[in-house]
Structure 1
Amino acid sequence: MDYLPVCLRLRGTPVLLVGAGTVATRKARLLLRAGARLTVVAPQASAELQSLLADADGEWRRVVYSNSAQDGQALVVAATPDAETNRAVYRDACERGIPVNVVDSPELCSFIFPAVIDRNPLLIAISSSGRSPVLARLVRRKIETLIPAAYGRLAEFAGHWRDRVRTALPEEGARRLFWEQAVDGAAGELVLAGRETEAATLMERRLADSSALHRGEVYLLGAGPGDPDLLTFKALRLLQSADVVLYDRLVAPAIVDMARRDAERIYVGKSRADHAVPQQDINQKLLELAQAGKRVVRLKGGDPFIFGRGGEEIALLASHGIPFQVVPGITAASGGACYAGIPLTHRDYAQSVRFVAGYLKGDRVEHDWQQFASTTETLVFYMGLMGLPVICRELQAIGRAPDTPVALIERATMEGQRVLVGTLATMEDIVAREKPHAPTLIIVGDVVRLHRDLAWFGERDG
């Protein structure tokens, strides 16, 4: 290890910055954000740097660097274009025993600036030991995508509760378990969602009730229409924390595989003719697992609250006081339409969009069909493959033109996606010939005309 990672408390600390160009301005911005009392030595300074110093009550000395500039300083940074000046700053600082950094010169540094992920008070630093700052920044960008911006708020919240938890739970093992469940559980998720008051109430309840330490949680996650890349960061984070994962047939196997390797997986899929697990049994299973102290994820295709019966599942949990969260997902209409190059709304074609359940009840698709008469509204039918003949017939019966464009999207956003395009008059014959399989989505409206020009995913027209 070439360097020892440390975090310096600079609030109110005198720091010298030699140089006042673009690079120096970047360093000044970072030092001032850490609360340093900054002095800049340079004959000229950028307008931005002058503004930063004025806002932070810093000092600009319009002189050429000399050894005396380091008097009273606790930290020194050099960022000038003159190599001799930079070497002099380094030499003088070493003689005084002051930590020094010469930008872009690792050999003239007793400390270096890492790439920083700032979720204050949570900080993550990445360093290449001066070998490749660009690589360090690349790694920082990758890590930043995994660390929600609200983690700083979570760290503040934990700090506020630290003494109270230590008093209530003097035994280290119990305290560690409490914090693991709080930070990585329901209370932590509430804070990340900006609901600190509710999180505080939950903390109070769990500190007062030791049995709450062993109470589980449930997360209803929208898995999106199929493509694993459409899963949200939050959904992925919760999925990877689950003890048990319940998933249905609309969830892509690649998404289920993102769960922890040791997580139990339970298939609860339903199709039109085969309800592997009745809905009431799924609701009860979620409750029982949570009551057993498990962290449970319910993965649902698309969005849990759009034809996903998510409301029914959380109602039972709420009535028994089980902590839960619902994480939205990209619904099939949005994902499928985008991948097929079909804008659901468009200035020239449609000013609104309606999501409609298209499944049969007996031999009927039960709707007030007259409300679908507008030609400036896009209709998206979910679960409508079996009911397609009824849908096409009823829409024509209320006055929609037989040549109204229709698209059927099979396996939306997934490998093997197929788009069949026809009209209200021809779509039934196209489906009979092409024999698509569920899951499918049916889009009706003039926006379908844009499909040929805007599609970028694999498709096939009928």
Structure 2
Amino acid sequence: MKYFPVFIDAQHINCLIVGAGEVAARKLELILKTPAKITVVSPWVSDTVAQLINEHNITLHHREFMDDDLKGQNLVFIATDKNDVNQHVHDLGHSQGILVNVVDNTPLCKFITPSIVDRSPIIIAMSSGGVAPVLLRYIRQKLESVLPSKISLLGRFSERFRDKVKSALGSVTDRRYFWEDVLDGDIGENVLQGNEEKAEQQLEESLEAYKAGNKPSGQVYLVGAGPGDPDLLTFRALRLMQKADVVVYDRLVSKDILELVRRDAEKIYVGKAKSNHTIPQNEINALLAKLALEGNRVVRLKGGDPFIFGRGGEEIETLIEQGVDFQVVPGITAASGAASYAGIPLTHRDHAQSVTFTTGHLRDNSIDLNWKALAQTHHTLVFYMGLTGLSIICRELIAHGLDGSTPIALVENATRSSQKVVTGTLDTIVDMPQTQDIKPPTLIIVGSVVQLHEQLNWFTPSEV
């Protein structure tokens, strides 16, 4: 971050605005939302600034800027149309350690004003570092549309009871659980609806229950993280990732998705790579139960979907045995993500009327599958974890009836900026030079639908 975001206590801030045109008026209107002490200096004053000065307690020096005007100031906005004045005030303020902002001149800004969504006391401030103001306004509009207009009521309600809850619940974790239950449940809803008296009564009752130890027990959420692109997460997955105390994740969960996990959550890696299972599955199952029984909200974050080659069923069986509550949050499975981002429809009226997901995972140097049932025309096959056994897959499909010219695609790192797609046929794919560069995680798609890749391919990866 080039600019470090902070919120300054404006009760003790002296703010100087140099200039009094319409540009200065925008900054003046912003600062007037705070209790800061404001001084304006300018030889000319626009009608907008004059009106604001008449309506508020603002000191005006109706003259040119003087160096002594900086004495006692903490924050300075420079908004004149004279470059030499702007530069002079900037240099002088900077030499005195004063925070200086030259409006619309980012290189001369020691701080920048963010785009603000104001639901006081809830304030959301955003910045693009001055490089994309239009994009920033677009994001702000989106936030304004999804945030409840009355969320400020929740902010003030929380403020009123903050000290009481803090004194009643000594543990930071207990307080966080309590407030999440308040804000997510009936209490928060009553506040938003204006039923504060009822909400207060409910909060008092809930707080007494927490003090007595009657608080929610730990729970496990099996969350599908999708194929890799964080934009493909479900809303529910993202919300639970933000609430988790512990996140247990595997190798297929992308770094970008992990960045969305709550910052202070504990993260435990249990990934499995080819021929290298860092933690056996039965130990993962036991770990999930143990963490939940300790009172944690546990997110088991899995690439793709938990119930499609994700061993979610095995983990749930252990949770049931241990009496642990759980929920399952579906995700976009890798086959769907890979096919969509490679421009390969899994079904198509002219090519395939059915699709099969199967594992290509090797056991004892063999892949134990019903090859006769798989080797069908007008059908699409998707192999998970099949890259190591690619030669066996091609050989067996040909041996059981598919023509060697049947199209096949390898999709590495599907939906990510590093996605690679290699296409060929069952006869040629193994020996193609491009295949040698493909690494796990890779899905294999077999069938005539692969022919559509060149025509329908819409996604352009950009390695970063």
1:237 aligned to 236, 239, 253, which one? Answer: 239
Change (3 A) 1:234 1:350: same
- Residue in 2 that maps onto 1:258: 260
* Secondary structure, counterpart of 1:401 in structure 2: coil
Distance 1:316 1:257 in 2: 29
Letter of the aligned partner of 1:267 in structure 2? Y
The TM-score, its normalising length taken from structure 1, stands at 0.58
Paired residues for 1:349-368 under 5 Å: 349-368=351-370
- Residue in 2 that maps onto 1:142: 143
* Secondary structure, counterpart of 1:266 in structure 2: strand
Contact 2:383 2:444 in 1 (8 A): yes
1:452 aligned to 445, 451, 454, which one? Answer: 454
* Secondary structure, counterpart of 1:356 in structure 2: strand
Does structure 1 residue 216 correspond to structure 2 residue 218?
A: yes
Q: Deviations over 1:145-183 (max 9, x none)?
A: 688xxxxxxx9xxxxxxxxxxxxxx99947987754646
* Secondary structure, counterpart of 2:273 in structure 1: coil
Contact 1:185 1:217 in 2 (8 A): no
| Deviation (angstroms), 1:320 | 2.5
How many correspondences in the alignment? Answer: 305
Distance 2:270 2:185 in 1: 24
Contact 2:422 2:435 in 1 (8 A): no
Does structure 1 residue 405 correspond to structure 2 residue 422?
A: no
Q: Deviations over 1:94-138 (max 9, x none)?
A: xxxxxxxxxxxxxxxxxxxxx9xxxxxxxx9x9xxxxxxxx9998
Paired residues for 1:57-456 under 5 Å: 139=140, 141-142=142-143, 173=168, 180=179, 182=181, 211=213, 213=215, 215-430=217-432, 434-456=436-458
Contact 1:226 1:252 in 2 (8 A): yes
Q: Deviations over 1:186-240 (max 9, x none)?
A: 999xxxxxxxxxxxxxxx9x97996551621111111111111111111011101
Contact 2:341 2:414 in 1 (8 A): yes
Contact 1:181 1:213 in 2 (8 A): no
| Deviation (angstroms), 1:318 | 2.1
Letter of the aligned partner of 1:244 in structure 2? V
Letter of the aligned partner of 1:309 in structure 2? R
Distance 2:256 2:175 in 1: 33
Distance 2:347 2:215 in 1: 48
Letter of the aligned partner of 2:395 in structure 1? R
Distance 1:137 1:436 in 2: 39
Letter of the aligned partner of 1:215 in structure 2? S
Contact 1:216 1:293 in 2 (8 A): yes
* Secondary structure, counterpart of 1:213 in structure 2: coil
Contact 2:416 2:461 in 1 (8 A): no
Letter of the aligned partner of 2:306 in structure 1? P
Unaligned runs of at least 5 residues, structure 2: 1-28, 34-116, 125-135, 149-153, 155-164, 188-205
CA RMSD of aligned residues (A): 4.0
Unaligned runs of at least 5 residues, structure 1: 5-114, 116-123, 127-134, 148-154, 156-169, 189-203
Distance 2:186 2:388 in 1: 44
Distance 1:459 1:430 in 2: 21
Q: Deviations over 1:250-302 (max 9, x none)?
A: 00011111111111111110112111111111111111111111111111000
* Secondary structure, counterpart of 1:385 in structure 2: coil
Change (3 A) 1:322 1:253: same
Letter of the aligned partner of 1:399 in structure 2? G
Contact 2:168 2:211 in 1 (8 A): no
Change (3 A) 1:339 1:177: closer
Distance 2:325 2:261 in 1: 20
- Residue in 2 that maps onto 1:19: none
| Deviation (angstroms), 1:372 | 1.2
Distance 2:314 2:146 in 1: 33
Change (3 A) 1:388 1:221: same
Change (3 A) 1:383 1:136: closer
Distance 1:260 1:208 in 2: 23
| Deviation (angstroms), 1:458 | 3.6
Distance 1:230 1:178 in 2: 28
Distance 2:186 2:310 in 1: 26
Distance 1:409 1:145 in 2: 36
The TM-score, its normalising length taken from structure 2, stands at 0.57
Letter of the aligned partner of 1:331 in structure 2? T
Contact 2:417 2:461 in 1 (8 A): no
Change (3 A) 1:249 1:314: same
| Deviation (angstroms), 1:415 | 1.4
* Secondary structure, counterpart of 1:428 in structure 2: helix
Contact 1:303 1:330 in 2 (8 A): yes
Change (3 A) 1:263 1:179: closer
